[in-house]
Amino acid sequence: MSRSSRPGGPAGAGTPSRSAAVRASVPVTLDGPGGPAARLVTFNGLPDPGEHLACLLPGVRPAGAPLVRLHSECLTGDVLGSTRCDCGPQLAEALGRIGAEGGAVLYLRQEGRGIGLYPKLDAYLLQDGGVDTFDANRLLGYGDDHRDYRVAAVMLHALGMTRVRLLTNNPDKVRQLREHGIDVVEVLPTAVHLTTHNARYLAAKAVRAGHHLPLPPEGTA
Ligand SMILES: Nc1nc2c(ncn2[C@@H]2O[C@H](COP(=O)(O)OP(=O)(O)OP(=O)(O)O)[C@@H](O)[C@H]2O)c(=O)[nH]1
Ligand SMILES: [Zn+2]
C-alpha cells in the first residue's frame, strides 16, 4: 500500500475530467522592496476543497515550457522553519529559481503528504521512537502518501500551462501530472538540502519512495 485514499478517486488518463477557472489574480511583491512582482492566483471549480494557490512569477510564457514547482504545504517547515524536513529550503529555492526566469509555484494544501497537520505531528512522535516517516504513517493507519496531483493538473490547465519543466525529485509528481494531461518536457532536481536534522528523513524518501536524492553514505551527513 503506497498511494492510497486519494481524495480525487482513481486517476484517469489525459485531460483532467474536471476543469477549473481562474477566480482572481492578485498582484503581490515577494520578499520586500525589490523582490519579484508576483501574482497569486485563485480558482473556481477545483476537484477538491483545498484552497490551492498558484504563485506566478514574472516572465511566464505559457506557450513555451515554464519552470513549475508543485509544493506541498508544510506549515512546520515552510512557515516555522522546522529542520525536520527540507520543505522550507526547497520552497525558498523554488521561489528564487523560478523568480529568476519566470514560471509558477503551485502551493498545494496537502499538509503531511495529504494526511493533515495533526496526524503529521503524531507521526513525528512515532519517528522519535525510531520508525521512519513512511512506517509512522502506516502505524497511524494511513498510506505512505495521500497526495493526488490531479488538482495541480487542473490548475495548470486553467493557467494555460500544459507544457512544463518541473522542479522536483519526486517521480510520483511527474507520473501523475503526465497521467492528467500535462506534458512534462523536463524534470529538474532541487538541490539536496541535507542537514544532520533531516538526514534520516531524506534517506527514507530516497530509499522508500524513489526520490532522486544523491545522498552521501550514511553517517557522513
Ligand atoms: N506524513 C508526513 N508528512 C510529512 C513528514 N515530513 C514532511 N511531510 C510532508 O511532506 C510533504 C513534502 O513532501 P516530501 O516527501 O518532503 O517531498 P516532495 O514534495 O514529495 O518532493 P519534492 O518535489 O522533491 O520536494 C509536505 O506536505 C510535508 O508536510 C512526515 O514525517 N510525515
Ligand atoms: Zn516539511
Q: How do the pLDDT tens digits run along the chain, 221 residues long? A: 344 444 433 444 566 767 999 999 999 999 876 778 999 999 999 999 999 999 999 875 555 799 999 999 999 999 999 999 999 999 999 999 998 889 999 999 999 999 999 999 999 999 999 999 999 999 999 999 999 999 999 999 999 999 999 999 999 999 999 999 999 999 999 988 888 888 888 888 888 888 887 777 665 54
Is 115 inside a domain boundary?
no
Q: What is the dihedral of CA 110, 111, 113, 117, to 10 degrees?
A: -140
ipTM of the complex: 0.98
Q: Cell triple for residue 53?
A: 494557490
120 lines ligand 1 (CB under 6 A): yes
Is 71 inside a domain boundary?
yes
Is 13 inside a domain boundary?
no
Is 120 inside a domain boundary?
no
Is 56 inside a domain boundary?
yes
Is 116 inside a domain boundary?
no
Q: Which residues of 117-138 are buried (b: 16+ CB within 10 A; e: fewer)?
A: eebbebbbebbeeeebbbbbbe
CATH code of the domain covering residue 183: 3.40.50.10990
Which H/E stretch holds residue 55? strand 53-57
State how many domains the chain has: 1
Q: Which of 90, 120, 177 to mutate to test the pocket of ligand 1 (most atoms within 8 A of CB)?
A: 120
Question: Residue 154 belongs to what domain range?
Answer: 21-110+147-209
Is 187 inside a domain boundary?
yes
On whether 70 is known to bind a ligand per the annotation, the reply is yes
Residue matched to cell numbers 519543466: 165
Provide the annotated active-site residues.
Answer: 145, 147
Is 119 inside a domain boundary?
no
pTM of the model: 0.90
Q: What is the dihedral of CA 26, 14, 4, 208, to 10 degrees?
A: -90
Ligand nearest, relative to CA of residue 212: 1
